[in-house]
């Protein structure tokens, strides 16, 4: 039971020092721009830490919404037709590439190309 709790704590967010290290890693990804530099309707490539995930209800069309933060701001991605993508969870490092458009004051990309970045913790599982 303790192992399960430890995994849950690790998987659902980083502590402050780990979060700062994650953001430093994100800033070193080639070809990405800071979230604060995103322009609406322009194809862009960003990297960040998944700060939240939301799945659609079983009665709705399948959809996975994620929020990604890079220390300069937040952006969203919606994956239509899927309720889950292996590896996309809070705390995961991700690169998103797509056309981000305004939605509720936050720029959102629909079905962006994504790449999960491997961290030291991922190789220890």
pLDDT of residue 1: 39
pLDDT of residue 21: 62
Cα→Cα distances 78→3, 84, 96, Å: 32, 11, 11
List the chain residues with pLDDT less than 50.
1-9, 14
pLDDT of residue 8: 44
pLDDT of residue 18: 65
Cα→Cα distances 17→1, 13, 20, 24, 103, Å: 26, 11, 5, 11, 31
pLDDT of residue 16: 60
65: helix, coil or strand? strand
pLDDT of residue 116: 94
């Amino acid at each position: 039971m303790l192992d399960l709790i430890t995994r849950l704590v690790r998987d659902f967010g980083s502590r402050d020092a780990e979060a700062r290290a994650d953001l430093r890693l994100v800033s070193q990804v080639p070809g990405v721009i800071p979230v604060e530099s995103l322009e609406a309707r322009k194809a862009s490539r960003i990297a960040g830490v998944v700060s939240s995930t939301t799945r659609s209800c079983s009665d709705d069309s399948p959809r996975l919404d994620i929020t990604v933060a890079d220390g300069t701001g937040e952006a969203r991605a919606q994956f239509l037709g899927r309720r889950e993508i292996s590896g996309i969870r809070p705390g995961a490092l991700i690169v998103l590439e797509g056309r981000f458009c305004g939605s509720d004051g936050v720029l959102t990309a629909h079905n962006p190309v994504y790449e999960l970045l491997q961290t030291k913790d991922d190789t220890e599982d």
